[in-house]
Amino acid sequence: MFVFFDNTPLQNTMAEQNVPNHPPTRTDEQIVPRSQWLTIGKSNLLFNAQKIQKNPIFQISVDILSNTNFFQAFTASANVPAIYLQQFWKTMTYNEKTGVYSCQVDEQWFDLSADLLRKALAITPVNPTHPFELPPSGNTVIDFVNELGYPEPVEIVSNIRVNYVYQPWRAILSLINQCLTGKTSGSDKPRHPVLQMLWGIVTQTNVDHAELLWEEFTQGIQTFFSHKASLKNPKKKVTPLLIPYGRFSKVIIYYLASNNNIHRRPDSAVHHTGDDYILGNLKFVPKGESVEVFGMAIPDPLITEAIQQSSYYFPVSGNGC
């Protein structure tokens, strides 16, 4: 079943009309032996829309994100046969000539792309007649982060840490970093696509967020390949091989199963939505400090009427909330 965490159904269970009546061609053990199963890494966390934090910054941040066309990427998950999640990553390949990633689910091979991720997450264009605009890069992104507020002038994107960005942008950036990428904490460094996502939100620009999510996803695939290769080299420090992007992987598998003749395997173990790693409480105060540090004020267009009428909204001049 593919659901939002707040139990609002997005699609039905794996489409029975697309499931062959005959038994699976191979057993689970033949697809990926149980002894070779990988642990799912703690990344790409699931946002629980029912878990509310008291800090008004959190409430406003979630409300701002909920008005984007990709908010369901924070909350969507799926129940799929666990063997398909293992097979998805066991068979992952990359063709250097074509630049195409592929994987096998059941007996079929599929090409992976930003468009597939867009469809799987049901990310629809803000305006079908309005083409996507390219997000900024280089110095423009650095200037953008400096405008949001940072303890000292930012000169290199790779030096930025989420927890040093001023509020309320720190909370939004932390939500994006932990739920939509392979990062594990708010202190992790946001990669360039993540900052471009934030830029698109703040400026209300029609950015192709699915393309940026795909760029992050493929970074996770490449890291997975690198760690996998290190296992074969006794001279290198061995990095535990973990499945990244477990939640997005399941959503993709569910989408493929709903549109192709992939067996449901009713007798197989299932990786449930409840098995996903859940986003914990956000930190709002930098280590060693006692109060939030605010930066650029939230642009008026982002403060919707619903936010203004909420009990937690308190406009304070000059502090960004």
pLDDT in tens, 291-301: 888 999 999 99
Q: What mean pLDDT comes out for the span 267-282?
A: 94
Q: What mean pLDDT comes out for the span 144-172?
A: 92
Question: How confident is residue 51, by pLDDT bands cut at 50, 70 and 90?
Answer: confident
Question: How many CA atoms are closer than 13 Å to the CA of 186, on its beta-carbon side?
Answer: 21
According to DSSP, residue 167 is labeled: B
- Name the nearest CA neighbour of 304 among 75, 123, 65, 125: 65
Whether residue 2 is predicted with pLDDT greater than 70 in this model: the reply is no
pLDDT digits 0-9 by tens, 221-254: 999 999 999 888 877 777 789 999 999 999 999 9
pLDDT digits 0-9 by tens, 182-218: 888 777 899 999 999 999 999 999 999 999 999 999 9
Question: How confident is residue 18, by pLDDT bands cut at 50, 70 and 90?
Answer: low
Domain boundaries, the chain: 2-17+37-303
What per-residue confidence (pLDDT) applies to 321? Answer: 47
Whether residue 304 is predicted with pLDDT greater than 90 in this model: the reply is no
What per-residue confidence (pLDDT) applies to 319? Answer: 43
How far apart CA 223 and CA 219 sit, in angstroms, is 6
Whether residue 111 is predicted with pLDDT greater than 80 in this model: the reply is yes
How far apart CA 232 and CA 200 sit, in angstroms, is 41
